[in-house]
Amino acid sequence: MVNKLIVSNILYRPIRTALSALAVAIEVAMVMLFVGLAHGLVNESAKRLEGVGADILVQPPGASFLLAFSQAPMSMKIGDRLKDLPHVLAVSPVLFNFNSAGGLNIIYGIDMPSFVRVSGGFAYHRGGPFQNPYDLLVDDLYARANHVKVGETISLLNQGFHVCGIVEHGKGARLFIPLQTAEDLLQIQEKASIFFIKCTEPSYAETVADDIRQLLPKYQVLPVKEYMSLMTSNNLPFLNDFIAVVIAIAVCIGFLVIFLSMYTTITERTREIGILKSLGASKRYIIAVILREAGLLSAVGIIVGYGVAVIARKVILAHHPTLFIDLTAEWAAYAAILALVGSLLGAFYPAIRAARLDPVDALAYE
Amino acid sequence: MEPIIATRDLKKVYRLGKVDVEALRGVDCTVHEGEFVAVVGPSGCGKSTLLHILGGLTGPTSGLVLVDGNDFSKMTDTDRTRFRRHKIGFVFQRFNLLPTLTARNNIAIAQDIQGNGFNPHRFNAVVEMLGIQDKLDHRPYALSGGEQQRVAIARAVICDPKLLLADEPTGNLDTDNSQTVLNMMGGLNRTFGQTVLMITHNPEAAAVADRIIHMRDGRIVAD
């Protein structure tokens, strides 16, 4: 019977119900999308680097595992010493250039022959390898997002680059230029930001890494497996704080809307609460009615929120193919719990207020 | 036999802003089980306050109130609510049906609140007696005043209360519907021995009762 009362109350005020559920839906979708975007970008970035095919990364002393923060270059001669180590199949130096036009991108300055040895080579969707110093390879996602075609000239790093090929994504960066050109643009010679090392067998990675640590004690030597384990949102500075702030804002929205909705409902239904009290409804009964109503609104909002998140993800990815949004069951559950708890907390004070109404005053309410 | 209602020097003072208003100034009365009592008097004489106290909706300021042997002046709000749930049924002038529920659910919710579950035999007997079988799936806005009041009476008696308190039950009804509602309350009293205490300022309505109590200025002036 209480369920019938709750459902009929909800259906009796469709606009209020729709707005309240929509607020919860926005809360749920916001949590899922922001968290999904943060995790998606981190995971995708890590997978892309893993896709280079190297077993070990060697970076300059003090470099961060976040490659974007690592630009201090190393001498190219180090690469020659690395090549001589046992079980090293190939060493590829890469120089990072940063492009901020049209979004922040790392451009890999690559030595094509060695990069091909490490990575197994690019899979070309269109065009082919570099032919000229100011040739540029872009991956398919970048090309789709920016409507880039082979043969076009696009402006990067204050230079015009000729797009010579579109390659399958997943080889570290989205943009590749010849190493020599990257050095010229940075006005440095014979330097690399990172060495990608391919072992003769992946199982030698730890052994080779130990050898490199002995050879280059101050340098950052990271097997790719270890790198992958470090590339989680927990290890990224401020990302968890950012996620926490977004979640807090989303929960506040849900809390405040449900609070306001239930508060106005209580005022509007003062007489009905008086009727329930005249029938002998206890405070607990009235609190339960209000909280269950908020819970039902919240449940509707959660389901709608899942739909909004899925649709929003499709729309975002259609317009921005380089973004990655991981909608996980785990975070769907967290978002639902947050929305439900926020709604119940939002409804709690109005419920207490309703339960404390004087029945005589409530029955006289116009 | 113990009276079902007994009050001694019952007083109720409301505070309106900084002014104390004496709604009841020492009411002494007894009502026995099975009686149909009408309380009449002009507006503001304290009739409704007396009904609210007897129904446990509010507590007295002083004096003794015994309803079915329970001293309301010593009971907490929670205890009075529990007592009301099991022993008292209300009928109001404005029907006070829940607008979102059908007539059926308006009646059934009283059983739900009482906590004994839905009793179909009792339910069917009551709706048949009140002649509202065809109206059970209607919401209050789709019912006439007389039909709404019959649903309200059904809700009030569905849990077989010891005491039925009616606050101007015909106040919003035309003559025909008033008569129907009064006949039904009279029928409940005669057929089932339902104790009824009805507040009214309609002499014709009061005439249906076995006994008439007259109130003025917060006191009983004639019984």
3-state secondary structure B149-205: HHHHHHHHHCCCCCEEEEECCCCCCCHHHHHHHHHHHHHHHHHHCCEEEEEECCHHH
Please state, rounded to an integer, the average pLDDT across all residues of chain A: 87
Contact of A344 with A262, CB cutoff 8 Å? no
Report which DSSP code applies to B71: E
- Which pLDDT value is given to residue A110? 92
Query: Is the minimum CB–CB distance between B205 and chain A shorter than 8 Å?
Result: no
Q: Which residues share a beta bridge with A139?
A: A167
Facing residue for A9 by CB, picked from B81, B100, B113: B100
Chain A residues near residue B148 by CB distance under 8 angstroms: none
Per-residue pLDDT band for A115 (boundaries 50, 70, 90) equals very high
DSSP B57: S
Q: What is the ipTM of this complex?
A: 0.91
Give per-residue pLDDT as tens, A302-313: 999 999 999 999
Contact A275/B97, CB-based, under 8 Å?
yes
Interface residues on A facing B, Cβ-Cβ cutoff 8 A? 1-2, 4-5, 8-9, 11-12, 271-272, 274-283, 285, 358-360, 363
| Residue in the block written with tokens 């039925």 | B164
Query: How many angstroms away from the CA of A21 is the closest CA of chain B?
Result: 20
Q: At A223, which amino acid appears? A: P
How distant, in Å, are the alpha carbons of A226, A230, B87 from that of A65? 10, 8, 75
The pLDDT of residue A195 = 93
Reduce the DSSP state of residue A71 to 3 states and report it: coil
A189-218 burial: b if 16+ Cβ within 10 Å, else e: eebbbbbbbbbeeeebbeebbebbeeebee
For the ranges A60-74, A91-105, B119-133, the maximum mean pLDDT occurs at: B119-133
Q: How far is B91 from chain A (nearest CA, A)?
A: 10
* Nearest CA-CA distance, residue A365 and chain B, Å: 11
**Chain A / chain B CB contacts < 8 angstroms:** 73
Give the pLDDT confidence of B168-215 residue by residue, as tens digits: 888 888 888 888 888 888 888 888 888 999 999 888 888 888 899 999
B81 contacts A280? CB cut-off 8 A? yes
Inspect the interface and report whether the beta carbons of B58 and A360 lie closer than 8 Å. Answer: yes
Q: Which residue has the tokens 């060493």?
A: A91
Q: How far is B217 from chain A (nearest CA, A)?
A: 20
Closest to A274 (Cα-Cα) out of A351, A178, A353, A365: A365
Are A115 and A142 in contact by the 8 Å Cβ rule? The answer is no
Lowest mean pLDDT among A32-41, A161-170, A343-352: A32-41
pLDDT at A163: 94
**Cβ-based burial of A80 (10 A; exposed 0-12, middle 13-18, buried ≥19):** exposed
- Alpha-carbon distance of A214 to A80, in angstroms, equals 16
> Position of tokens 């409704």?
B48
User: How many angstroms separate the Cα of B112 from the Cα of each of A122, A136, A184, B107?
Assistant: 71, 75, 83, 9
Task: Tell me, yes or no, if B23 comes closer than 8 A to chain A by beta carbon.
Answer: no
Strands B5-16 and B19-31: antiparallel
In tens digits, what is the pLDDT along chain B, a chain of 223 residues? Answer: 678 899 999 999 988 888 888 889 988 999 999 999 999 988 888 899 999 999 999 889 999 999 988 898 888 889 999 999 989 999 998 889 999 999 999 999 998 888 877 788 888 888 888 888 899 999 999 999 889 999 999 999 888 888 999 998 888 888 888 888 888 888 888 888 889 999 998 888 888 888 999 999 888 888 7
- Can you tell me which residue has the tokens 């009841």? B24
Gap between the Cα atoms of A317 and A315, Å rounded: 6
Residue B70 in contact with partner chain A when CB distance is under 8 A: no
φ, ψ for residue B197, nearest 5 deg: -120, 115
A-chain CB neighbours of B82 within 8 Å are 280, 282
For residue A68, pLDDT over 60 is answered with no
| Contact in structure between A114 and A92 (CB atoms under 8 Å) | yes
How is residue A242 written in tokens?
């950012």
Residue position matching structure tokens 């991108």: A105
- Encode B104-153 in three state secondary structure: HHHHHHHHHHHCCCCCHHHHHHHHHHHCCHHHCCCCHHHCCHHHHHHHHH
Residue A225's CB is within 10 A of a number of other CB atoms, namely 13
Are B96 and A278 within 8 A, CB to CB? Answer: yes
Residue A101 pLDDT more than 70?
Answer: no
Q: Verify whether the Cβ–Cβ distance B101 to A272 is below 8 Å.
A: no
Question: b or e along B125-153 (b: 16 or more beta carbons within 10 Å of the residue's beta carbon)?
Answer: ebbebbebeebbebbbeebebbbbbbbbb
- Report the length, in residues, of chain A: 366
Contact between B195 and B34 under an 8 Å Cβ cutoff? The reply is: yes
Digit-coded pLDDT (tens) for A234-263: 667 677 788 888 888 888 888 898 899 889
Cβ-defined contact of B105 to A4 (cutoff 8 Å): yes
Does pLDDT of A136 surpass 90? yes
Can you tell me the mean pLDDT for A117-143?
A: 92
Q: pTM for the complete prediction? A: 0.77
A47, amino acid identity: K
Check pLDDT > 90 for residue A352: yes
CA pair distance B218, B11, nearest whole angstrom? 8
Q: Is B97 on the interface with A (CB under 8 A)?
A: yes
What pLDDT band is residue A233 in, cutting at 50, 70 and 90?
low
Among A2, A358, A363, whose Cβ lies nearest the Cβ of B96? A363
Residue-level pLDDT at B143:
92
Region of residue B68 (left: phi > 0; alpha: psi -120 to 50; beta: else): left
* Residue in the block written with tokens 């110093």: A133
Compute the residue count for chain B: 223
What's the pLDDT at B123? 87
Q: Do the Cβ atoms of A2 and B101 come closer than 8 Å? A: no
pLDDT score of A224: 87
DSSP A25: H
Residue A1 in this model has a pLDDT that exceeds 90: no
Q: Searching chain B, which residue's CA lies closest to the CA of residue A282?
A: B81
Give the model's pLDDT for residue B1. 67
Per-residue three-class SS string for A292-346: HHHHHHHHHHHHHHHHHHHHHHHHHHHHCCCCCCCCCHHHHHHHHHHHHHHHHHH
Which residue type occupies A119?
A: S
Q: Give me the pLDDT at residue A47, please.
A: 86
| Set of chain B residues whose Cβ sits within 8 Å of the Cβ of A279 | 84-85, 90, 109-110, 113, 155
- Is the pLDDT reported for residue A102 higher than 80? no
Contact call for A282 and B85, based on CB within 8 A? yes
C-beta separation of B215 from B47 below 8 A: yes
Write down the pLDDT at residue B181. Answer: 86
Q: How far is CA A354 from CA A221, A233, A292, B122, in A?
A: 64, 44, 14, 31
A294-325 burial, b for 16+ CB within 10 Å, e for fewer? bbbbbbbbbebbbebbeebbeeebeeebbebb
